[in-house]
């Protein structure tokens, strides 16, 4: 026999359930515009029916239902799509950042020119072209001061442009470093929050609830994190959500690891990211990975390219300028300032800072013999430059051997200087352990570097030049010429020499002769001689830049082509990642997003359900009223 109030209880249960359903619908509608909200669905279930098959069962047809109850409230979410998005979003983060910064780098170069009037262009290439023009104009009037004034002005524009590029790239690098610091702090913050959420979610689930909004919050944080770094997620254990970065645990259930920022003196004081136990963080995707790559690869080498340009222009112009004579007949002066890496004229340096010199830092060496480019060398052997073996044969022309040296990957540039002497120059290093613009090893078991070019004194190991010893300049031939390596980042301080700035008569347009046989020119040809100015301006034809033997103009083109293709690649990567993520987000929204029409239809449904239950309760109420008030005294 069911209880008297069975109906009312059932009705009450239904009213409460339908109110709950309405609230869930209301919750969905309220969160229509909430980012990352997953719509919740209430599942209604029949309440436990009576009676159980035992002794107390009523002797009537059964079982009797007891109405409706909420089974659960669940999120409609597809974990597969979530995982896809986590995987794809790291590419979006990576390319978005990369695109942004490479765009900035392209803007620094100011190519292509957008002005039709070439006088309005202000990029490095134009500054260099104008500088070379200045020497030509001086060659037209080597006896005049006005031509020198103009040349000085153009030289100042060139050095200013070089320094500007250095400063702007360094600025960008500083910005990137700041962003790296911010991102790492963000990762730490998010990891902490996720760990706390894991704790709360676990406790709620233990009681049997569905902490849907907490799960939404956690998923939002995971989404954010997946753009910053390439995380992997493990949901296998329901009680413990694990997030990995670079193969290590970042979050494991309620526990989380903090990442540390440590300044690296070898990298201009910029920060590296480490785990607490000292292992370096490995990221292969996401914004952080892009930032680290931009800072330590793209911008790092871009600055080196400008350095290489500055070092070479300074060295080449100075070499010729020292040979020439100014209006005041003075010779031996530099045009650009030179800050040698070490003050010791033999390039000796104390590398391990123990107080004793231990290395030789030489940038360039020129042999003593005049050579012809297309002559067959007629000798055979193998030379070793910076650890790379380069073979040569009797039938090779000098031009072929030079090309072989340049393409060998030894990071040196070989060419014939204006005096037709073989010159070997070091370029910036790709391996961070080795210093830039320093020749490390020269050895020849044959005669190419020794008797033929006149660079080394002796063949074999005894005559080898090894930068890790001191006084290695003694390995060079007596009449070979060499110059000490420049200080780090020559583009940061490239400047016209003070002597020239204060008195332009020092600008050496004229050439001269050696009267006393010491090998150094000491008498000017006269103020009307333009030979030295013409020699300097002919540098624009010379193939003196590293790796592929390019002229300065070709070097610029290579730099621009390189950054242009990187930019184009980054943009395409960004656009395609953006589109892909957009599509996946659409799929997710289609599953988890709130549809207003749907919710309103549900609202009507639950409203009707509520009304029906209320009416039912009213009817039962009437029935009970009959029993209580109509039956009896």
Window 588 to 607, contacts with another protein (CB under 8 A):
589-597, 600-601, 604
**Which of these ranges, 436-444, 458-466, 580-588, 619-627, lies near another protein under the rule CB under 8 A?**
580-588
CA neighbor of 94 nearest in space, from 559, 578, 568, 562: 578
Q: Which is nearer to another protein, 64 or 79 (CB)?
A: 79
**Which of these ranges, 47-55, 174-182, 266-274, 556-564, lies near another protein under the rule CB under 8 A?**
556-564
**Which of these ranges, 254-262, 288-296, 351-359, 585-593, lies near another protein under the rule CB under 8 A?**
585-593
Beta carbon of residue 147, minimum distance to another protein (angstroms, whole number): 10
Q: Is position 583 an interface residue for another protein (rule: CB under 8 A)?
A: yes
Beta carbon of residue 414, minimum distance to another protein (angstroms, whole number): 22
Q: Is position 587 an interface residue for another protein (rule: CB under 8 A)?
A: yes
Residues 65-104 that bind another protein (CB under 8 A): 102-103
DSSP 590: H
Q: Are 447 and 381 in contact (CB under 8 A)?
A: yes
Q: Which is nearer to another protein, 178 or 579 (CB)?
A: 579
With 0-12 / 13-18 / 19 or more C-beta atoms within 10 angstroms meaning exposed / middle / buried, residue 616 is middle
Q: What residue has token string 């009681």?
A: 207
Q: Choose which of 23, 188, 419, 553 interacts with another protein (CB under 8 A).
A: 553
Q: Is position 49 an interface residue for another protein (rule: CB under 8 A)?
A: no
Q: Is position 106 an interface residue for another protein (rule: CB under 8 A)?
A: yes
At residue 100, φ and ψ (nearest 5 deg) are -60, -50
CA neighbor of 408 nearest in space, from 547, 612, 505, 226: 547
Residues 369-388 that bind another protein (CB under 8 A): none
**DSSP annotation string for 454-474:** --BSSSTTTT-EETTSS-GGG
Residues 452-511 that bind another protein (CB under 8 A): 510
Residues 522-541 that bind another protein (CB under 8 A): 523, 525-531, 534, 537-538, 540-541
Q: Is position 586 an interface residue for another protein (rule: CB under 8 A)?
A: yes
Q: Are 173 and 299 in contact (CB under 8 A)?
A: yes
Q: What residue has token string 């072209």?
A: 129
Q: Is position 418 an interface residue for another protein (rule: CB under 8 A)?
A: no
Q: Is position 30 an interface residue for another protein (rule: CB under 8 A)?
A: no
Q: Is position 303 an interface residue for another protein (rule: CB under 8 A)?
A: no
With 0-12 / 13-18 / 19 or more C-beta atoms within 10 angstroms meaning exposed / middle / buried, residue 146 is exposed
Q: Which two structure tokens, joined as six digits, stand for 113?
A: 């020119």
Q: Choose which of 9, 143, 240, 503 interacts with another protein (CB under 8 A).
A: 143
**Which of these ranges, 127-135, 149-157, 262-270, 412-420, lies near another protein under the rule CB under 8 A?**
127-135
d(CA 390, CA 187): 49
Q: Is position 208 an interface residue for another protein (rule: CB under 8 A)?
A: no
- Secondary structure (3-state) at 569: helix
Q: Are 216 and 38 in contact (CB under 8 A)?
A: yes
CA neighbor of 477 nearest in space, from 505, 454, 509, 502: 454
Q: Choose which of 565, 576, 611, 626 interacts with another protein (CB under 8 A).
A: 565
With 0-12 / 13-18 / 19 or more C-beta atoms within 10 angstroms meaning exposed / middle / buried, residue 606 is buried
């Amino acid at each position: 026999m069911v209880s008297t109030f069975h109906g009312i209880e059932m009705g009450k249960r239904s009213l409460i359930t339908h109110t709950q359903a309405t609230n869930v619908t209301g919750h969905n509608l309220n969160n229509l515009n909430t980012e990352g909200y997953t719509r919740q669905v209430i599942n209604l279930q029949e309440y436990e029916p009576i009676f159980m098959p035992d002794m107390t069962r009523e002797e009537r047809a059964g079982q009797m239902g007891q109405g409706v109850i909420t089974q659960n409230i669940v999120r409609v979410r597809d974990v597969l799509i979530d995982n896809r998005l986590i995987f794809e979003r790291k590419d979006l983060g990576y390319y978005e950042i990369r695109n942004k910064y490479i765009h900035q780098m392209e803007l620094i170069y100011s190519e292509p020119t957008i002005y039709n009037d070439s006088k309005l262009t202000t990029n490095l290439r134009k500054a260099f072209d104008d500088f070379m023009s200045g020497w030509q104009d001086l060659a037209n009037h080597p006896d005049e001061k006005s031509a020198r004034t103009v040349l000085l002005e153009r030289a100042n524009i060139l050095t200013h442009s070089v320094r500007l590029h250095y400063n702007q790239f360094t600025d960008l690098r500083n910005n990137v470093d700041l962003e790296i610091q911010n991102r790492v702090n963000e990762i730490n913050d998010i990891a902490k929050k996720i760990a706390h959420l894991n704790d709360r979610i676990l406790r709620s689930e233990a009681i049997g609830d569905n902490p849907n909004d907490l799960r939404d919050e956690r998923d939002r944080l995971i989404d954010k994190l997946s753009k910053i770094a390439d995380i992997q997620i493990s949901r296998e254990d329901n009680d413990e959500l694990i997030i990995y970065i670079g193969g290590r645990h970042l979050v494991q259930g309620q526990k989380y690891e903090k990442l540390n920022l440590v300044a690296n003196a070898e990298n201009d004081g910029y920060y590296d990211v480490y785990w607490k136990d000292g292992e370096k963080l490995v990221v292969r995707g996401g914004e952080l990975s892009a930032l680290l790559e931009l800072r330590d690869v793209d911008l790092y080498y871009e600055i080196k390219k400008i350095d290489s340009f500055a070092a070479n222009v300074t060295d080449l112009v100075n070499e010729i300028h020292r040979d020439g004579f100014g209006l005041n007949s003075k010779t031996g002066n530099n045009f650009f300032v030179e800050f040698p890496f070490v003050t010791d004229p033999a390039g000796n340096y104390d590398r391990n800072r123990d107080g004793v010199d231990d290395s030789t830092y030489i940038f360039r060496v020129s042999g003593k013999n005049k050579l012809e480019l297309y002559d067959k060398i007629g000798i055979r052997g193998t030379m070793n430059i910076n650890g790379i073996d380069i073979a040569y044969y009797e039938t090779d022309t000098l031009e072929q051997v030079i090309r072989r040296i340049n393409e060998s990957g030894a990071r040196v540039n070989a060419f014939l200087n204006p005096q037709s002497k073989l010159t070997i120059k070091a370029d910036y290093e790709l391996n961070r352990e080795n210093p830039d613009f320093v020749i490390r090893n020269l050895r020849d078991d044959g005669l190419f570097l020794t008797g033929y070019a006149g660079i080394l004194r002796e063949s074999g190991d005894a005559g080898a030049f090894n930068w890790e010893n001191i006084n290695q300049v003694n390995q060079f031939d007596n009449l070979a010429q060499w110059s000490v390596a420049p200080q780090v980042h020559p583009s940061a301080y490239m400047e016209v020499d003070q002597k020239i700035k204060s008195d332009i008569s020092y600008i050496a347009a004229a050439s001269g002769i050696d009267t006393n046989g010491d090998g150094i020119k000491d008498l000017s040809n006269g103020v009307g001689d333009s030979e030295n100015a013409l020699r300097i301006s002919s540098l624009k034809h010379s193939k003196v830049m590293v790796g592929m033997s390019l002229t300065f103009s070709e070097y610029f083109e290579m730099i621009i082509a390189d950054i242009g293709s990187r930019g184009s690649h980054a943009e395409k990567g960004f656009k395609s990642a953006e589109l892909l993520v957009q599509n996946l987000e659409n799929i997710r929204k289609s599953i988890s997003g709130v549809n207003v029409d749907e919710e309103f239809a549900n609202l009507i449904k639950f409203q009707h359900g509520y009304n029906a239950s209320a009416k039912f309760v009213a009817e039962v109420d009437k029935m009970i009223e009959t029993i209580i008030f109509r039956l009896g005294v």
